[in-house]
Amino acid sequence: MNLKMIIRIFFVFSFMLIGLIGCKENYNDEKKFNDFVESFNSKSDDLSFNIDRLSEEVILKQLSETKEKLKILRTIDINALEKETKVDYKFIESILVGKEIENEEIQSWKKDPRDYMNFRQISTTINGPRTCEEKVNYLLEYLPVVKNDLILGVSQLESYVPRFQELGLYMAKNSNSIFSDEINNLFASCISISETNKKTILELSSEIIKVLNVFVNFLENDLPIKQKSSFSIGKETYNKMLKNQFLLDYTDETLWEFGWEEFNNTLDKMDELAKEINPDKTTQELLVDIKNEYPHPDSMIQAHQYWVDKSGEHIRSNNLIPIPWKERVNVVPREEYLRKTSYYGNFSRSRGVDDEGYFTSEWKINPFEHQWDQKTKDEYLVEHDWGVILVTAPHETYAGHHVQGLYQMHNPKELRRNNGLSLFSEGWGLYNEQLMLETGFYPNKKIKLRQLQLRLWRNARVIYDVGMHTGKLSYEDAISLMTDKVGFLRWAAQLEIDSSSSRPGYFIGYFMGMIEILQMREDYKKMKGVNYSISDFHEKLLKIGNMPPSIMREALFN
């Protein structure tokens, strides 16, 4: 064997050895990450029945655990992972960073009294479908936790946020009936409850009422003299949330500018369309007319069902999104005990195949009630007009939350089945409102004007969320934006703003998610050229999961 041959063999062997070492390192990182995902999927953060679940000690322990998970995750070399695995890595990291921000920087337990009044679950359980035995067992386990929550609130609330105090006080003063009337109603309807359990539940309820009165006194007299604060989370935290949790390429400043630019563009489109409809009326006058066109009060459920079915027919007949499952959406009256929690209703997506073999979701609508006073009746009807029904049906059902939920339910990866965020899911819902406009679903210009108004509402959410949480907008400024520009009644605007104040970042998901999806669609169309199919785009996107759009983009274009 000559020298050249020996040298050649040496180099070939060396390259093979280097390759094997690299593969082994990649394999080790892949295995470490797969083990991490398995651990992440198996651990539950449910502390519902932990007596100290809201104590600072438990919260800080959760924070420490989150930091440890991030530390372990970041020992894995992301560049050594397969492309698809990188997507999951970034997704888990964004989830953990969100928890870290919530517990380390936002720290709502120090300033929001509502964190300590988790009473809705009690009412939901008492009035819900569980058996009497299940309800009793739940109360025996949960009532001591509720009592301790209130005690912890008195010791841990250290900042006075006037609006939070006002809302907390209202909630506390109106909660006694849960622990008296609703408990007694349970006893009346469940005659099988033992005397021992009745006595224990009554004693616990009585103790909670006493502690609740102490809590009310604290909110009225002690909290207002503590250090005054606001619900703003601040620029630094907000920007960290945008960059590291939502993975958006915006700062608070650029998001603020973009929000206003889009808001004003939508206003211009509304004014142009209004002139086409009736040049003798202003946009707001036309919208008042449109909102006064609604179904017969006793036919609200049927009217919603009709347009749900129509939206499904439109999606299928135009081959917009594949729906390969045996599925359906039923519009039903909302349970009475839930009707006070929001003025419209809620969507309950399918959790599996029902007795008839369908994946059945339910859109639960608050029905019209004849015992209401005239003011309540009038307000109900103008918020359940034909326009809002036609536009909201696609958002909630076809092919919005219902279809997106089915795809997520069938994702082969447990991580992606069980985790998601508003930035994509709510963005997808709003995207479907736009998709129906583009594909001719809305029957006339009045409905199209209403669709633009509902889009304007989601535009406004970007402005007031970033504005209030970074000091650019006061609470009253946000209310004025919703009443003067969007057309909300003041009480409805307050409900909207109050919800955002305690959930920073959530409401930007609607509009910003839609914008990201539209941009992905445009880029995908350019890439595919003559082979582009909108159905193919939607199917591929939904099969990826429910993650920050930048990760969805990475997976889609890989």
3-state helix, strand, coil in the chain (%, to 5): 70, 5, 25
Biggest CA–CA distance in the chain, Å, is 104
Q: Do residues 256 and 140 share a domain?
A: no
Which pLDDT score is estimated for 20?
Answer: 42
Residue 13 has pLDDT above 90, yes or no: no
Which pLDDT score is estimated for 62?
Answer: 95
Domain membership of residue 56 (yes or no) is yes
| Range 522-533 average pLDDT | 97
Residue 14 has pLDDT above 80, yes or no: no
Count each helix (H run) and each strand (E run) in the chain, helices first.
24, 5
| Range 272-286 average pLDDT | 97
Residue 386 has pLDDT above 80, yes or no: yes
Q: Do residues 170 and 294 share a domain?
A: no
Question: b/e for 118-156, b at 16 or more Cβ within 10 A?
Answer: bbeebbebbbeeeeeeebbebbeebbebbbbbbebbbeb
Domain membership of residue 92 (yes or no) is yes
End residue of a domain, out of 46, 71, 104 = 104
Which pLDDT score is estimated for 15?
Answer: 47
Residue 450 has pLDDT above 90, yes or no: yes
Domain membership of residue 236 (yes or no) is no
The SS3 call for residue 123 is: helix
Domain membership of residue 9 (yes or no) is yes
| Range 85-99 average pLDDT | 97
pLDDT band at 27 (very low <50, low <70, confident <90, very high): low
Domain membership of residue 239 (yes or no) is no
Q: What's the pTM? A: 0.90
Residue 469 has pLDDT above 50, yes or no: yes
Helices 162-173 and 195-217 sit at what angle, rounded to 10 degrees?
Answer: 150
Which pLDDT score is estimated for 121?
Answer: 86
Q: What values do phi and psi take at 409, rounded to 5?
A: -60, -30
Task: Measure the CA–CA gap between 475 and 163, rounded to whole angstroms.
Answer: 9
Q: Do residues 402 and 422 share a domain?
A: yes
DSSP secondary structure letters along 214-241: HHHHIIIIIGGGSEE--S---HHHHHHI
Which pLDDT score is estimated for 2?
Answer: 60
Q: Do residues 446 and 359 share a domain?
A: yes
* pLDDT tens readout for residues 439-448: 999 999 999 9
Q: Do residues 155 and 94 share a domain?
A: no
Give the pair of three-digit tokens for residue 511: 């509009």
* pLDDT tens readout for residues 288-343: 999 999 999 999 999 999 999 999 999 999 999 999 999 999 999 987 766 766 77
Domain membership of residue 244 (yes or no) is no
Helices 56-73 and 83-101 sit at what angle, rounded to 10 degrees?
Answer: 160
Measured CA distances, 167 to 164, 281, 344 (Å): 5, 39, 21
Among 24-28, 343-347, 365-369, 532-536, name the one with the lowest average pLDDT.
24-28
Domain membership of residue 246 (yes or no) is no
Mean per-residue pLDDT of the chain: 92
Residues 6+ apart with CB under 8 A from 364: 331, 332, 333, 334, 335, 338, 345, 346, 347, 348
Omega cis (within 30) before 80: no
Burial class of residue 65 in the structure, from the number of CB atoms within 10 Å of its CB (0-12 exposed, 13-18 middle, 19+ buried): middle
For residue 345, give the DSSP letter: E
Quote the percentage of the chain above a pLDDT of 90. 82
Q: Do residues 198 and 263 share a domain?
A: no
Which pLDDT score is estimated for 9?
Answer: 52
Q: Do residues 525 and 431 share a domain?
A: yes
Which pLDDT score is estimated for 47?
Answer: 84
| Range 523-536 average pLDDT | 97
Q: Do residues 308 and 369 share a domain?
A: yes
End residue of a domain, out of 79, 104, 129 = 104
Residue 17 has pLDDT above 60, yes or no: no
Q: Do residues 369 and 268 share a domain?
A: yes
**Which domain, by its residues, includes 214?**
113-228
| Range 48-72 average pLDDT | 96
Contact status, residue 272 vs residue 445, Cβ threshold 8 Å: no
End residue of a domain, out of 104, 121, 142 = 104
Q: Do residues 64 and 197 share a domain?
A: no
Domain membership of residue 12 (yes or no) is yes
Q: Do residues 188 and 313 share a domain?
A: no
Q: Do residues 96 and 117 share a domain?
A: no
* pLDDT tens readout for residues 152-204: 999 999 999 999 999 999 999 988 888 988 999 999 999 999 999 999 999 99
Question: b/e for 404-431, b at 16 or more Cβ within 10 A?
Answer: bbbbbeebebebbeebbbbbbbbbbbbb
Which pLDDT score is estimated for 21?
Answer: 47
Query: Which among 143, 229, 149 is positioned nearest to 186, based on CA atoms?
Result: 143
Which pLDDT score is estimated for 6?
Answer: 56
Query: Which among 393, 406, 392, 399 is positioned nearest to 349, based on CA atoms?
Result: 406
* pLDDT tens readout for residues 400-420: 999 999 999 999 999 999 999
Which pLDDT score is estimated for 343?
Answer: 73
Domains held by the chain: number: 3
